[in-house]
């Protein structure tokens, strides 16, 4: 299986991820000035960028090539999600704007769903 076929398998998780990032950006942009939006969004992207790399690159290289199993990401994921959630919720609750909070919540769940789908696919490939 070449890289293009592997990438096609992860098309849905990747699209969910992009949609999540866009919704999170708009949740901030709606509530804050642009510079505050960019600072918080950069922190969010750094936190979740690690998950994205683990979830999407690990299956492409193969778990054995990186001497890892896809499921080992979850402990780090829980810690980083907690930090990211605390930071983002504090930022959004500062304004108490429920429309922004709703967009953030949907965006975050799309990103987490994309990561879970990618990890699930990687685990099923690793078991075969």
pLDDT in tens, 80-103: 666 666 666 666 566 556 677 777
Whether the CB-CB separation of 116 and 64 falls below 8 Å is answered with no
Q: In which residue are the tokens 């994309």 written?
A: 114
* Domain limits, the chain: 3-127
* Interatomic CA distance for residues 123 and 78, integer angstroms: 18
What pLDDT digit, counting tens, does each position of 47-62 carry?
A: 666 666 666 665 555 5
Residues sharing a CB contact under 8 Å with residue 12, sequence separation 6 or more, in sequence order: 114, 117
Distance CA 105, CA 84 (A): 12
- Which pTM does this prediction carry? 0.49
């Amino acid at each position: 299986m070449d890289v293009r076929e592997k990438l096609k398998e992860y098309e849905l998780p990747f699209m969910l991820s992009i949609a999540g990032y866009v919704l999170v950006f708009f949740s901030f942009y709606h509530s804050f000035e642009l510079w505050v939006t960019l600072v918080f969004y950069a922190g969010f992207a750094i936190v979740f960028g690690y998950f994205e790399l683990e979830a999407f690159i690990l299956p492409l290289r193969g778990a054995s090539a990186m001497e890892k199993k896809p499921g080992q990401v979850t402990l780090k994921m829980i810690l980083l999600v907690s930090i990211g959630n605390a930071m983002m919720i504090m930022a959004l609750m500062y304004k108490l704007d429920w429309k922004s909070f709703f967009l953030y919540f949907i965006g975050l769940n799309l990103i987490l769903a994309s990561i879970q789908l990618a990890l699930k696919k990687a685990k099923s490939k690793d078991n075969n």
